[in-house]
Amino acid sequence: DAGRSKREPETGITDPGYSAIRYGLAGIKHVGETAMEAVIREREQRGDFISLEDFCTRLDSRIASRKMLESLIKAGAFDFAGRDRAELFSCIDDAVSASVAAQRDRLAGQVALFDETTASSTSRKRAASRWSDHEKLSYEKELLGFYV
């Protein structure tokens, strides 16, 4: 469509009124339709995701798996949060732990979104070597099938 550009997938925003074509989450390798539906349902019920940590603690830990998070980060789906992809990638272990802890709390009937210790461990800045443009493009091609 004239006037539209291709954009990376994003967990935080998808709307038909935008002037860019946003790649669907279900099309990213290791995400799939069931996970995409859970993401959309959670976003519609409780609002936009604001960070990787927010995403992980709001979704069932069986949905927010390590492999899915790796794919979403490499594909650029968390770029809206303003953190470097390599830095986010280095937080995956803590993010998965946050997801498991939040799931455990939900099952136990606790209301807290996530433990403050977990939040601070995933939110703090990490010393991670930035990915080169070539690395980012390679990951996008691997997971999306084309360069964004």
So what's the pLDDT on residue 20? 66
Distance from C-alpha of 132 to C-alpha of 121, rounded to nearest angstrom = 25
So what's the pLDDT on residue 87? 95
Give the model confidence (pLDDT) of 59-94 as tens digits.
998 888 999 999 999 999 999 989 999 999 999 999
126, HSE (Cβ side, Cα atoms, 13 Å): 19
What global pTM score does this model have?
0.76
Distance from C-alpha of 26 to C-alpha of 41, rounded to nearest angstrom = 14
Distance from C-alpha of 96 to C-alpha of 106, rounded to nearest angstrom = 15
Give the model confidence (pLDDT) of 107-130 as tens digits.
888 655 444 444 444 555 666 899
State the pLDDT confidence band at 24, using cuts at 50, 70 and 90: confident
So what's the pLDDT on residue 85? 96
So what's the pLDDT on residue 84? 93
Residue with the bigger pLDDT between 35 and 9: it is 35
Instruction: Indicate the average pLDDT of the chain.
Output: 82
Is there a contact between 104 and 62 (Cβ–Cβ < 8 Å)? no
Question: In this model, does residue 26 exceed pLDDT 70?
Answer: yes
